Every structure is written in structure tokens, then in C-alpha cells.
Amino acid sequence: MPGRLVGKVALITGATGGIGQATAELFAREGASLVVTDIAQDAVEGLAASLEAEGADVLAARLDVSSPENWSEVIELTRRRFGRLDVLANIAGVVDWPGVEETTKDGWDRVVAVNQTGTWLGMKTALPLLRACGNASVINTSSVLGLVGSGAAAAYQATKGAVRLLTKTAAVEYATRGVRVNSVHPGVIATPMIQDLLDEQGDEQPDIVRTPMRRAGSPAEIAPMMLFLASDESSFVTGAEFVVDGGLTAH
């Protein structure tokens, strides 16, 4: 039985992180050709090698998502290797935990550069190639903290809220131009980005306590949502937000 992404080329940022790697592995199993990117060259090349060993067609590239020049280079590499781009999954992200008064300018700028500017630059640079295929999908990774407040992580929350509305306005702009744009909003997910926090607080971590399922999710529980949005099964879905949070935002 053919995979759900056979014939599609997908570019994934943050591909060596928890959600990024789970998404890359699932996309590969479903038949996609992949462009896997991350800021860590060795890690992204290692991921590509493991995916290729399973039979996937993979291009690995180092990508600083805050760099317009780096984005242009990666999109050109994609065009030369595959001649098309069907899916852009903007997953790269960083977190800074302080609240409003404790957040530093350097901390704020770093989070905005990766989470917000990086998402915009990815769309801006990839959209000409995405539009050319006529049936493309952009998946932007926001967070439940782009929907509700937590009283902390001011810079992170600001950027994830921005990604949510950037997604919606892009969806309206490109709805008749062959590109769907949606956002995914994970809850507490056991990824390297927050693993130290989970190791320290365990099930007493405040957001886990507020989660009706009373546990953290796994990256493998986010990847299937990415797959749905990348596939043609979501052909009438754009400008929407998909929450995968164990019920955290249900109350």
C-alpha cells in the first residue's frame, strides 16, 4: 500500500529535536523525500544517514532559521536536488523561561529570531517553490502557550502567539494560490528542550498537573498531526490551529 506522502518533498526545520525527528521519521516511512535541516551540522547529517539506511531519499543541510541568506541557500539546494517542494514544516524553536520583568533583551531577541522571524523567513523564502507545485502545505509549530497565558516564558509566549496569527494571515493570502497554511499547538511534550525541567519536577510540573491526562506527551504523538496536514487528506484545511495537549486547554 503506497504511503500517504509518496511523491512529495518535505523540508523540516529543527529536524534533530524531539518533534522534528519524530516527524522526519514518520514522513520518511510514508514515502516523502526529505530535506532535513538543523543548526547542528553533525546531528542533521547523522539523522539523514539513519533515514537513508531505511531507504529514504534525504538531503541534509545546516540551517540557521534566523538567517535570510542561509534560507536562500537551503531552498536553492532543495530546488537543485528535487526540483520541487510540497511541504514546509517549521518546527525549529527555542525557549526562554523568565517572565516579563526578568526577560533580558538578549533573551528576547534570541527567541524572536528563531521562533518568529525563522518561521516567517521560512515561508517567505520557500513560498515561490511551494506555489509552483500547486498543492502545497505549510505547517507552523506554535504551542498551547500561543493560545493561553502561563505567567512565565514571556518571550516564548509572545512568539508562539505571533506564529498563530502569522499562520492565519498567510492562509488567507495563499488560499487560492495553491498553498495551505496551518499551525500545530503541542502541550507539554517530552523533548530535549524541556527534558531538564521534566527530570527535575516530573509529574509535579505545573503544566502537567493542569493537564487532564496528567502526563507529558511524546514527540511520536505530535508527528501524526504533522502527517495529516502534510498529506492530501487535509486538502480543505487552511488557517486552522490543531491542539495536541492532553486536554490542557480544555478548561
Q: Show which residues are catalytic.
A: 156
Q: Buried b vs exposed e over 15-43: b needs ≥16 C-beta within 10 Å?
A: bbbbbbbbbbbbbbbbbbbbbbbbbeeeb
- Mapped onto helix, strand or coil, the DSSP state of residue 24 is helix
Report yes or no: 5 and 231 within 8 Å, Cβ to Cβ.
yes
Report which of 28, 23, 31 is spatially closest to residue 219, judged by C-alpha positions: 23
Strand (E) positions, 63-162?
87-90, 136-141
Helix H or strand E segment including 179: strand 179-186
Kindly state the greatest CA–CA separation across the chain: 55
Count the neighbouring beta carbons within 10 Å of the beta carbon of residue 170.
24
